[in-house]
Amino acid sequence: MSQRGRLITFEGIEGAGKSSQIAPLADWLRARGLTVITTREPGGSPIAERIRALLLDRANTGMDGTAELLLVFAARAEHLAQVITPALTAGTWVLCDRFTDATYAYQGGGRGIDPSRIAVLEDLVQGALRPDLTLVFDLPPALGLARARGRSEPDRFEAERLSFFDTARAVYLSRAAADPGRYRVLDTTRPFGEVSAAVTRSVAALDERCA
Ligand code: TMP
């Protein structure tokens, strides 16, 4: 039987530069003979992408916080069932743009939902599955938002006030500090190449094929 794949998640507030690091890492891993898929949350499967559209639509401003939380986990359940779990079982490495740490940061920090409630849904939807490595791309929220808002019309989350992202960032950093074995925090005010090098260094520790 093939060895289980690895789940690597990319996290950070808007404009932190996480998404642009995924494709280079996928190429780097494939060059080492690994099978890799890249995906994202919310989304990553047909039904989950439809849920994503509901979550990001600014017409849904005022959505109830519990409804938002449940939609995020409904999308995740679909994504896990259709994409992530089969891939990991087949030995494929999964690079996922956001995962459950985003729920702790945005629904927990940003919206103020008690993390113990999020943990209940995490266990329900994921069982024992947790990422093998979580990369937290970090920068001051004002800088990240200026970058993100310069790219496109803000979605329902990007339109939030700055304090929402300050809280989300604080949650990411405190979760990373509490579990240094799983998380790496990367300062994305540094040049792109330096951040990429830090990404590959972090991933290399996961498997001897990457050394
Ligand atoms: P992005 O994929 O363009 O970063 O946008 C996804 C948005 O969804 C982002 O603002 C963060 C938000 N989000 C949550 O609020 N909770 C979650 O669990 C996830 C995965 C994303």
Residue 77 dihedral angles phi and psi, to the nearest 5°: -60, -45
Instruction: Give the H or E element holding residue 39.
Output: strand 36-40
> Within 10 A of 41 (CB to CB), how many other CB atoms are there?
22
Quick one: pLDDT at residue 2? 66
Q: Which of 76, 97, 106 to mutate to test the pocket of ligand 1 (most atoms within 8 A of CB)?
A: 106
Task: Answer yes or no: are the C-beta atoms of 41 and 48 closer than 8 Å.
Answer: yes
Q: Is 102 in the pocket of ligand 1 (CB under 6 A)?
A: yes
Query: Taking the model in full, what pTM does it have?
Result: 0.97
Biggest distance spanned by C-alpha atoms of the chain: 49
Per-residue pLDDT of the chain (211 residues; tens, 9 = 90+): 568 999 999 999 998 889 999 999 999 999 999 999 999 999 999 999 999 999 999 999 999 999 999 999 999 999 999 999 999 999 999 999 999 999 999 999 999 999 999 999 999 999 999 999 999 999 999 999 988 888 888 999 999 999 999 999 999 999 999 999 999 999 999 999 999 999 999 999 888 888 7
Q: Among 66, 98, 118, 151, which is best to mutate for testing ligand 1, by the most ligand atoms less than 8 A from CB?
A: 98
Protein residue whose Cα sits closest to atom 7 of ligand 1: 157
Burial (Cβ within 10 Å: 0-12, 13-18, ≥19) of residue 43 = buried
CA of 60 to the centre of ligand 1 (A): 15
Give distance in angstroms: CA of 150 to centre of ligand 1.
18
H or E stretch including 8? strand 7-11
* Phi, psi values for residue 122, rounded to 5°: -60, -45
Does ligand 1 come within 6 angstroms of the Cβ of 134? no
Measured on CA atoms in the order 200, 107, 84, 151, is the torsion positive or negative?
Answer: negative
Tokens of 67: 């409804």
Residue nearest to atom 6 of ligand 1 (CA): 42
Q: Verify whether ligand 1 is closer than 6 Å to residue 11 (CB atom).
A: no
For residue 14, which amino acid is it?
E
**103 Cβ below 6 A of ligand 1:** yes
119 vs 121: CA distance, rounded Å: 5
157 touches ligand 1 (CB under 6 Å): yes
Report DSSP state, residue 4. P
pLDDT for residue 133: 97
For residue 100, the ligand 1 atom closest to its alpha carbon is 18
Token pair for residue 195? 């951040």
Ligand 1 within 6 A of 42 CB?
Answer: yes
Q: Between 141-151 and 162-178, two packed helices, what is the crossing angle to 10 degrees? A: 120
